[in-house]
Amino acid sequence: MTLQIPPLTRRQRRVPDRRPAWEEPPSPVGNATKAVVIAVIVAVMVLPFLVVLSTSLASREEITAAGGFVLFPTEPTLEAYRTILSGGLITRAVLVSAGITAVGTALSLLTTITLAYALSKPGVPGRKPVLLLVLFTLLFAPGMIPMYVVVKELGLLDSYWSLILPGLVNAFNLVVMRAFFMNIPEELYQAARIDGAGDFRILTRIVLPLSKGVVAVVGLFYAVTYWNAFFNAMLYLNDSGKWPIQLILRTYVVQNKQLTGDALGVTNMPPQQAISMAVVMIALLPILALYPFLQKYFTKGVLTGAIKG
C-alpha cells in the first residue's frame, strides 16, 4: 500500500514561502509614503511652535503684513523679550513660578519617594489603610470649595505654600513609584540588611540608584504640574504680586487682555502679538528644555510603573 499524498493546492504552495508583510523589505513607494506621513505629523507639531517663536521675534511691520502671525521673520528682534523681562510683571511672575516649581517638585519627590517606599514594604504597620486613603483621593477628588476651606483653615491663603502643599503627593505618581519599588528584587534588600543597612540607607544607596527612571518621570510630572498651575493661584492668592506666570499667561494671553505699556512700565511697546507670543515662549521653555534630558528615562519609567501592580 502506498501512501497517497494529496497535491498541494495553489494557495498552500504559496503561503509557506511568503514572509509576513511586515517582514518584507520596504518598497520605495512605501518608504516615500512613510516619509510624507511623518513629515506631515512633524509639521503639525512643529509649525504652531515655530509660529509662536517667529511671531515673538517679529517686528510690527512684519506682523501687520502677515495679518497677525509670522512664520519666518526677516529681521528678528528680541524687543518683546526685553520688554517683558525688564523687571516688571512678567519677570516677577516667572521667578514665582520657578520658585514654586523647584521647591514643590523637590518636596513632592521627597514625600512621594518616602511614602512609596514605605507602602511598598510588606509588614509596615498601617500600610493598607494608608494606601486606601491615598487611592481614595485618586477616585474622589475634593471639590473646589472643600479644598479652599482646608487651605484657609490651615492658614495658607495668600501664601506660596497654598500652591504646593495641597498637591504635595499625587496619588497616581505614588502608585507608579510604589509599583516600581515593588519590582526591585527582594534579594537586594536582604543582602543590604545582612550588611547592616537600615531603611534610610537602603532607600538612598540601593533603591534610588536603581529607580532613576521612575524618579525622573515622576519628577517631570510634578514639575509640569507646578509650572502649569494657575487655578489654585487664582483661588488662593489674593496678593497679585504673588501670581505665577501661568495665571498671567491665562489672563493676558488666552483671554487676550492687553499687556499695556502702563503695566509693564515701558513707553514704546512692541506689537501685542509679539508680546503675547513671547509670554507663551517664556511659559513653555523651561519645561520644554527639561524633556530632552529626561527623555531616556521616560519610556522605561512610565512603562515599568504602568504594568506592575
Partner 1 sequence: MNGMSRRTFVGLGAAVAAGVASTSLTGCGSSTAKKTEAASANVKLPTYVPYTGVKPDLPPNAKGLDSGFLSYPKTLVRSVPKPPGDGSKVTLLTEIWTPPPTPKDANAHWQQLNKKLGVDLSVIMGTDPGYDQKFAATVAGNELPDLMWIPPNQGIQHVAQLLEAKCADITELVSGDAVKAYPHLAAMTQAHWKTAVVNGRIWGAPSPYPAFGQVYGGNPKVWEKAEGLSASSPDEFLAKCKEVTGGKVWALEPIYSNAVSVMSQCFGVPNKWERGKDGSLTFWMETDAYLEAINFAIKLKKAGVFYPGNPDMADAYIKMAQGSIGACVYANPTNARKDLRINAPELASQILVPFAAGGSGGPRHHLHRGTIGYTAIKKGDEKRVKMLLSILNYMAAPFGTEERESQEFGSRDLDFTFDKSGFPVRTAKGKKEVEGLRSGLETATVSPSALIASMFEGDARVQDVKDVYAIEQKLIPIGIPDPTVGHYSDAYTEYYPRMSTDAKDLVNDIVSGRKNIKEWKPFWTEAKKRGLDKMRKEFQKSLDKSGE
Contact segment (CB under 8 A) with partner 1 among 25-33, 41-49, 61-69, 295-303 equals 61-69
Our CB check for partner 1 shows the closer of 168 and 234 to be 234
Contact segment (CB under 8 A) with partner 1 among 164-172, 206-214, 250-258, 288-296 equals 250-258
Q: Tell me 244's DSSP state.
A: -
- Rule CB under 8 A: say whether 57 interacts with partner 1: no
Which listed residue (113, 247, 249, 283) binds partner 1 by CB under 8 A?
247
Residue with cell 518598497: 27
Cβ 235 to partner 1, closest distance in Å?
5
Which listed residue (12, 31, 258, 295) binds partner 1 by CB under 8 A?
258
SS3 per-residue string spanning the chain: CCCCCCCCCHHHHHHHHCCCHHHCCCCHHHHHHHHHHHHHHHHHHHHHHHHHHHHHHCCHHHHHHHCCCCCCCCCCCCHHHHHHCCCCHHHHHHHHHHHHHHHHHHHHHHHHHHHHHHHHCCCCCCHHHHHHHHHHHHHCCCCHHHHHHHHHHCCCCCCCHHHHHHHCCCHHHHHHHHHHHHCCCHHHHHHHHHCCCCHHHHHHHHHHHHCHHHHHHHHHHHHHHHHHCCHHHHHHCCCHHHCCHHHHHHHHHHCCCCCCHHHHCCCCCCCHHHHHHHHHHHHHHHHHHHHHHHHHHHHHHHHHHHHCC
Which listed residue (125, 139, 239, 292) binds partner 1 by CB under 8 A?
239
Which listed residue (107, 251, 284, 287) binds partner 1 by CB under 8 A?
251
Contact segment (CB under 8 A) with partner 1 among 15-23, 119-127, 129-137, 257-265 equals 257-265
CA distance 174 to 95: 28
Binding positions for partner 1, 73-112, rule CB under 8 A: 88-89
Our CB check for partner 1 shows the closer of 67 and 309 to be 67
Residue with cell 495679518: 67
What end-to-end distance do the CA atoms of the chain give, in Å?
61
Cβ 108 to partner 1, closest distance in Å?
24
Binding positions for partner 1, 176-235, rule CB under 8 A: 231, 234-235
CA distance 55 to 274: 5
Our CB check for partner 1 shows the closer of 217 and 247 to be 247
Cβ 46 to partner 1, closest distance in Å?
21
Our CB check for partner 1 shows the closer of 149 and 306 to be 149
Nearest CA to 97 out of 295, 292, 282 is that of 282
Assess contact for 213 and 305: CB atoms under 8 A.
no
- Rule CB under 8 A: say whether 71 interacts with partner 1: no
Our CB check for partner 1 shows the closer of 115 and 282 to be 282
Our CB check for partner 1 shows the closer of 124 and 147 to be 147
Cβ 140 to partner 1, closest distance in Å?
17
Q: How many residues of this chain bind partner 1 (CB under 8 A)?
A: 42
Binding positions for partner 1, 137-166, rule CB under 8 A: 144-145, 148-149, 152, 157
Residues binding partner 1 (CB under 8 A):
63-64, 67-68, 88-89, 144-145, 148-149, 152, 157, 231, 234-235, 238-243, 247-248, 250-252, 254-265, 267, 272-273, 276
